């Protein structure tokens, strides 16, 4: 049996694929998708300087799976907003 060892935050999987980061459990009603739109180099590392946040219904086959969308200037701000959106959506 294959084991999925995902990084977790507050008990939910946090998975990166290229410039996309997904947060949430797909067995729940919603997940959050972060897309790194652009990066800036600080001399040693590429730092995300434009990130799109999308609150999505977990069933991506639905035509209107996007519930909310925004853009932030730092990955930290994007993660903070996305985590808040997901917590609130799952409480309702």
pLDDT tens digits, residue range 51-91?
A: 999 999 988 776 778 889 999 999 999 999 999 999 999 99
Query: pTM here?
Result: 0.85
**Predicted local confidence at residue 29, as pLDDT:** 94
| Cβ–Cβ < 8 Å for 74, 46 | no
DSSP state letters, 10-64: TTEEEEEETTEEEES-TTSSEEEEEEEEEEEE-SSSEEEEEEEEEEEES-TTSTT
Considering the domain boundaries, does residue 86 fall inside one? Answer: yes
The domain of 46 spans 7-91
Considering the domain boundaries, does residue 72 fall inside one? Answer: yes
E strand or H helix at 88, and its extent? helix 75-91
Total number of domains constituting the chain: 1
Considering the domain boundaries, does residue 85 fall inside one? Answer: yes
**CA 44 – CA 46 distance, rounded (Å):** 7
| Cβ–Cβ < 8 Å for 48, 18 | no
Considering the domain boundaries, does residue 2 fall inside one? Answer: no
Considering the domain boundaries, does residue 1 fall inside one? Answer: no
């Amino acid at each position: 049996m294959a084991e999925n060892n995902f990084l977790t935050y507050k008990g939910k999987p946090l998975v990166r694929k290229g410039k996309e980061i997904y947060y949430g459990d797909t067995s729940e009603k919603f997940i959050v998708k972060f897309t790194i739109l652009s990066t800036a180099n600080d001399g040693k590392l590429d730092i995300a300087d434009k990130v799109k946040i999308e609150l999505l219904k977990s069933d991506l086959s639905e035509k209107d799976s996007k519930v909310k969308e925004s853009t932030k200037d730092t990955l930290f701000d994007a993660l903070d907003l996305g985590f808040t959106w997901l917590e609130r959506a799952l409480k309702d």
